[in-house]
Amino acid sequence: MPITKGIKELLAEADAMIETVPATDAVQRLGDAATLFVDLRDPRELAREGKIPGAFHCPRGMLEFWLDPESPYHKPVLAEDRTLLFYCASGWRSALAAKTAREMGLDRVAHIGGGFTAWREAGGAVEAVEKPA
């Protein structure tokens, strides 16, 4: 069966539904207790490039399971009364993740436009991550 809706359409739908925070604004939120940075990248990406200091790592494939309080995999940190500010390498996975979180009923979600790449270009701090064993 051919694909009837491609990534461009999916991203356009997400962009129409979610908040995109410019990287320069996201840098200003570092240390804000009302914001939880959520890194959706693969562990290899984190080990290679580092992460935003204090960010919570949630592999994209686990997001729905970790968000849902009814799931045996639920992570309470994702249910705290804070804005979840998702990011990935370039902003595509994080846009789709923010849309998914919104569809699951969360109101305080956004993503960093341009992702971790834009964060670094904006002068955002980077924390080293140990390589997975």
> Which phi and psi angles does 9 have, rounded to 5°?
-70, -40
pLDDT in tens, 25-54: 999 999 999 999 999 999 999 999 999 999
Stated pTM of the model: 0.94
Report how far residue 128's alpha carbon sits from residue 52's, in angstroms, rounded to the nearest whole number: 9
- In this structure, is residue 66 part of a structural domain? yes
Q: Please, which residues bridge with residue 36 across strands? A: 84
Structural domains in the chain (count) = 1
pLDDT in tens, 62-85: 999 999 999 999 999 999 999 999
- By residue range, what is the domain housing residue 115? 7-121
Please, which pLDDT band fits residue 131 given cuts at 50, 70 and 90? Answer: confident
- In this structure, is residue 131 part of a structural domain? no
For the domain that residue 33 is a member of, what is the CATH number? 3.40.250.10
